[in-house]
Chain A
Amino acid sequence: MEDWKKLCPLADIPRLGSRVVKSAAGDIAVFRTADDEVFALHDKCPHKGGPLSQGIVAGKVVTCPMHSWKIQLENGEAMAPDVGCARSFAVKLEADMVWITL
């Protein structure tokens, strides 16, 4: 069922940073944590559509650069008191290569 697509070597994403992936569904932000976990979210904050990829990553949370909503990388949910959700995409790491399903 799952259609994994090769994205990039892990080294192309900075630690505690992100890269933007072009897709038919719009831009997707792929994040890398300090522990080299990778996560992917639709690159639009549920608040006012700010590009989450441009935020600061800490732990498993990214802070939107527009109005500082905090979005959880694992499920795209905003942290309280804000309410909202960014769509998340499955990503995996295999032999230092990042894969994604769209």
Chain B
Amino acid sequence: MKKQKLVMVGNGMAGCRTLEELLKLAPDMYDITVFGAEPHPNYNRIMLSPVLAGETKFDDIVLNDLAWYRDNGITLHAGKQVTKIDRKARKVVASDGTEASYDRLLLATGSSPFILPVPGKELPGVIAYRDIADTEAMIEAAKHHSHAVVIGAGLLGLEAANGLKLRGMDVTVVHLADWIMERQLDKTAADLLQASLEAKGLKFLLGKQTSELVQGESGRVATIRFKDGTGNHAELAADLVVMAVGIRPSTALAESAGIHCERGIVVDDTLQTYDPKIYAVGECVAHRGIAYGLVAPLFEQAKVCANHLAHMGIGRYSGSVTSTKLKVTGIDVFSAGNFMGGEGYEDIVLSDPSAGIYKRLVIKGDLLAGAVLYGDTADGAWYFQLLKDQQSIAEIRDHLMFGSHHVGAYHTGDAGHAGVSQAAAMPDTAEVCGCNGVCKGDIVKAIKTHGLFTIDDVRKHTKASSSCGSCTGLVEQILASTVGGAYQPADTKDKPVCGCTDHSHGVVRAAIRDQHLLTIPATMRCLEWRTPNGCATCRPTINYYLISSWPKEAEDDPQSRFINERAHANIQRDGTYSVVPRMWGGLTTPDELRRIANVAEKFAIPTVKMTGGARIDLLGIKKADLPLVWADLGMPSGHAYGKSIRTVKTCVGAEHCRFGTQLSMTMGVKLEKMLYGMWAPHKVKLAVSGCPRNCAEAGIKDVGVIGVDSGYELYVAGNGGIKTEVAQFFCKVTSDEEVLEYSAAFLQLYREEAFYLERTCHYIARVGLDHVKKIVVEDAARRKELYERLLFSLQDYEDPWAAAVTQPAVRREYEKLEVL
């Protein structure tokens, strides 16, 4: 079939991102031609400010070099402006006469700076701030001239002023409104920002309206004049005037072709204009009446538009919530959503002027509506996420102001980066990712040179936060402060499982449940996976969803299990394995200990130690020896290697302890026997203490049971590892049977609702403790159903170690081949 022709007008970030997305989906569908008015390939426009400030060079901000166009078979007309669209003949014409015909046309003409209609606006030395040419003009002017005036104290104006100051100019920022960045900040935050910019040497004239730019003897602009409120004139020396008073979508071309435009080119939720053959993305577009000027929403548009150009037809763009972050080195300011409040809104404000900290959260009902942060923006990404996800803050409202660390909801962990939480204050040499040894400087460099915009991009290029994930929040902050307004936190709700699919965990789970899917290939077919057999991320995920949704029906696939769960032992750094036999409730016998000692000697096991869960760990066993070790031990698997029930830790309790109120060992053994063989989204640890002294440390377990004189208190969602989290009180029960039923029901709900690799604390943070209590504590019928479903799926569970000992087919996994 003959390829269709796609012509793109405008060679900027939104357009090129659309092409990239399109090439991923349908690499061979179109012959692509691109017209760009600037004589450059696509570059990272938001990095112009660091170029101006001398922090980076132009070569470093190119996103798609000429080789990219060539390699993808794209014809690039750089430096040619399209002047006409002939919709009847379906072709475009450029100013030099170049023509290109199209089957589909993509308009990505961007925006142009608004120029104040004042006398003298066309004088030499008066420029806007939009592209490389403007940036170069400013750098050049800074070499020969000394007085710069920036009109407009918005994001761009302040970044320009900061850059010019760093290049040695005397800079005054003139602004019409009463405070700077009035579209992004409230007055209190703006005043703080202004004070710190003044400390850097910038000057401000607020509430001033420019009336005229006056030519000097050299022919260049020399003076700026103002009209103030009373009609008096004031003036200021200015041999460089930068107008940064806003942008206008570039719609002239579209309008001349009769395409319906309002504020921008009007598009629907599929980014289609009123002419069905013509699509539009980026700053030139008006979607539901809004024209976006930050890059993050434009990338969302690009994704949807590419989906439709590729004839897939499933994406919809429904608008974006935007956030703002100023890229001025050393200054942290963040805002998002409706930060001014108003009728029906409430404010929570924290103000500490001498520390330079101001935070304002705007709340409507149970939802966060907006936020302004100054000085400490560490939680900006978290607040933005709450905003975007429209997550109820009812349960965390009293801690909300103090950030995600107080709520324990967002960051996956808090260990491994020395407790540092403010990215801007960190030196480049500071280690951010303690697992992979990645420093802040490495991350910033990768973001700048590779043009990265998402946390996943950063992970791919630097490995930072790709192992335990505890530094994710910190890496996000570094990303946010490096790319400024382009930063868009990943959608936690709709985040794809992995690169093999666009579907989220929730969608995959629902499909498996609703469509009664029983195998990994069937799931991938049903959900149109992009890869033939997934990857090391999605296969274990799907495998877990299958076996937890359809126990006894779906078959467990060993090749989709991580090695520890496939070999039923923990792989160690030297490739040997560790073996932890099950000891119910932490109890053992002289006979078991003798067998363990004999095994340790017979197989020359180098290390024998106690685990954190009070079991015995035998380390340094060769894989081929595992079945032999298990045969000699004659004890069941302790599952110390699995996303599964690990241990039930117990104190000695009323059996021996003079303080004990309940038989905690007996209770622990009952719980552990009930849960034996339970696979879960992540590891599950329990503890039972016989009295409130809580020697079994039940306060940091997924389920903690504390005996009191009148029964037991149950606590859930504690965590002693990556993110230290104190378990929350769940309910009080009176009998052993109730402990079993409530614990089992809670864990079954977790097994059915949590996403793979979500610990109970993360699951509870996502769905809310109230949700879980409603089902497990308050609804006796549902609790019983959950309890029975768990017991059903654990029925007849076979000890995997015994299977490896007795079944040759299972044992093959452990045996090496020899060449004949």
Contact = CB atoms under 8 A, between A and B. Distances in A.
Interface of A: 5-8, 12, 14-17, 19-23, 27, 30, 34, 48-51, 54-59, 61, 63, 65-68, 70, 81, 100, 102
B317 to A, nearest CB: 30
Task: Please give me the 4 A-B residue pairs with the lowest Cβ-Cβ distance, nearest first.
Answer: A63-B536, A56-B536, A54-B563, A16-B559
Contacts of A65: 562-563, 571
A102 B536 contact: no
Given A54-B571, A58-B534, A59-B531, A7 B562 contact: no
B460 A81 contact: yes
Interface stretch (B195-203, B788-796, B812-820): B812-820
Interface in B540-563: 540, 558-560, 562-563
Given A21-B819, A22-B818, A16 B533 contact: yes
A7 B819 contact: yes
B539 interface: yes
B460 A22 contact: no
Interface of B: 436, 460-463, 466-467, 531-536, 539-540, 558-560, 562-563, 566-567, 571, 573, 575, 812, 816-820
Contacts of B436: 67
Contacts of A102: 819
A23 B571 contact: no
By CB atoms of chain B within 10 A, which of A7, A56, A68, A102 has the most?
A: A56
A79 B534 CA distance: 16
Contacts of B816: 19-22, 27
Contacts of A23: 819
A22 B820 CA distance: 11
Contacts of A22: 816-819
B416 to A, nearest CB: 15
A23 B466 CA distance: 34
Contacts of A7: 817, 819-820
Contact of A50 (B461, B462, B575, B819): B575
A19 B536 CA distance: 18
A20 B817 contact: yes
A70 to B, nearest CB: 8
A101 to B, nearest CB: 10
Contacts of B573: 48, 66
Given A54-B567, A56-B539, A19 B575 contact: no
Contacts of A20: 816-817
A78 to B, nearest CB: 12
Contacts of A100: 819
Given A51-B575, A56-B539, A15 B820 contact: no
A102 B820 CA distance: 12
A23 B818 CA distance: 8
Contact of B817 (A12, A50, A66): A12
Contacts of B562: 56, 65
A51 B540 CA distance: 19
Given A51-B575, A66-B573, A59 B817 contact: no
Contacts of A5: 819-820
A14 B535 CA distance: 17
A14 B819 contact: no
Given A59-B533, A65-B571, A81-B461, A15 B559 contact: yes
Given A34-B532, A66-B573, A58 B820 contact: no
Nearest to B561: A56
B818 A21 contact: yes
Contact of A12 (B462, B467, B812): B812
A60 B381 CA distance: 37
A48 B467 CA distance: 15
A43 to B, nearest CB: 9
